[in-house]
Amino acid sequence: MSTATDTARVAPAGNPVSQSVRDSMVVAQRNLIRMSRIPEMIIYGLIQPIMFVVLFTYVFGGSMQIGGSTSAVDYKNFLMAGIFAQTVTFATASSGAGIADDMHKGLIDRFRSLPMARGAVLTGRTFADLVQTALTLVVLAVVALLVGWRVGSDAPTNAGKVLGAFGLLLLLGYAFTWIGALIGMSVRTPEAATSSGLIWLFPVTFISNAFVDTSHMTPWLRHIADWNPFSATVQACRKLFGNPGVSPSEAWPMQHPVWASLIYSILIIVVFRTLSVRKYRSATA
């Protein structure tokens, strides 16, 4: 019988909720320290979204039609909510790869042998990834300002709405991180986690309102894009940022994007956290 199996029956002592919070923070701290010692993880994570900002702004900027205008400035302000949302969701792949790497090296088995709350390992990991995503968003927002993105370019806004938009982005990123956690627990290698973590992200992010006005799509494709959880957050951010691109739509998520974004993200967290923790409990050494 393996060590993990022998000790898996050791139950955490004390109040289960406080024990879970304490253990999650310890695991999160461990992952944040590890990230700080490997700065290239953060640097390379920033390069891709910055490249998207530059390429879409300067290559496609003058050829995209937003609200009947082909102004490069309008497209720049339209684009940034989509780039922000894409950046927080693409962090899913690194989360899955990190968990798969911990599984591959036996670190998860070591955690399972300790009297820890069962969900603490995954919660701590996803929280650490959320901190990294927040840092990435800060840097990306600065780059966006440097290339000319401005809040309130199409409608009045304020600091509270702008912070609310970034809060919705972080909530979406945290929700998608739990999808990455389930993928990381379900594959055998970090390479497989990275590949499987990106395959489904491309249709989710591109069949949406992130980069183009969905009114130019065929009806059936626009219907998918309008009900895409990713589109709801992008639409909500454009509305809160006061940027152009909030085009009329009969789909409920597009008419109430803030509420739709909250409901979608919370639903994804509940479903995929439950599945991930269940997978963690049943994982074998």
Predicted local confidence at residue 85, as pLDDT: 94
In the predicted model, is pLDDT for residue 229 greater than 90? yes
Instruction: Indicate the number of domains in the chain.
Output: 1
Name the residue range of residue 188's domain: 17-282
Indicate whether 1 belongs to any domain.
Answer: no
Q: Is 230 a residue whose pLDDT tops 50?
A: yes
Distance CA 243, CA 76 (A): 9
Which range (57-71, 148-162, 198-212, 239-253) has the least confidence? Answer: 57-71
What's the pLDDT score for residue 44? Answer: 74
pLDDT-derived band at 227, boundaries 50, 70, 90: very high
87 closest CA partner among 170, 156, 200:
170
Residue 33 identity (one-letter amino acid): I
Average pLDDT on 77-91 reads: 90
Q: Please state, for a pLDDT cut of 70, what percent of the chain lies above it.
A: 93
- Note whether residue 37 is domain-resident: yes
Tell me the β-bridge partners of 66. 69
Question: Which residue has better confidence, 67 or 198?
Answer: 198
Q: Give domain status of residue 8, yes or no.
A: no
Backbone phi and psi for residue 69, each to the nearest 5 degrees, phi listed first: -115, 140
pLDDT band at 7; cut points 50, 70, 90: very low
Lowest mean pLDDT among 120-129, 155-164, 260-269: 120-129
Give 3's pLDDT tier (boundaries 50, 70, 90).
very low
- Does residue 26 have a pLDDT over 90? no
> In this predicted model, what pLDDT tens digit does every residue of 50-74 receive, in sequence order?
888 888 777 777 677 777 777 788 8
Give the closest residue to 268 by CA, choosing from 186, 204, 173, 188.
173
Domain-embedded: residue 10: no
Residue 88 pLDDT more than 80? yes
Q: Is 246 part of any domain?
A: yes
**Mean per-residue pLDDT, 236-263:** 91
Residue 14's pLDDT is what?
A: 63
pLDDT band at residue 28 using 50, 70 and 90 as cut-offs: confident
CA distance 118 to 97: 20
Summarize pLDDT for 164-174 with one digit per residue, the tens.
999 999 999 99
Mean pLDDT, rounded, of the chain: 84
Residue 196 within any structural domain of the chain: yes
DSSP letter for each residue of 205-269: HHSSSSSS-GGGS-HHHHHHHHH-HHHHHHHHHHHHHT-S-----SSHHHHSHHHHHHHHHHHHH
- Average pLDDT of span 173-182: 92
Q: For 222-238, what is the mean pLDDT?
A: 94
- Tell me, yes or no, whether 3 lies in a domain: no
Q: Is residue 74 part of a domain?
A: yes
Q: Write out pLDDT tens, residues 138-154.
A: 988 998 998 889 998 88
Q: How confident is the model at residue 6 (pLDDT cuts 50, 70, 90)?
A: very low
The pair phi, psi for residue 66, each rounded to 5°, is -125, 115
Query: ∠ at Cα 245 (149, 142), nearest 5°?
Result: 20
Tell me if 243 sits within 8 A of 235, measured CB to CB: no
* Rounded mean pLDDT, 113-119: 76
Mean pLDDT of 105-109: 75
Quickly list H helices, the chain: 3-7, 16-37, 39-58, 72-104, 107-112, 120-146, 159-186, 190-199, 201-206, 219-227, 229-241, 252-255, 257-282
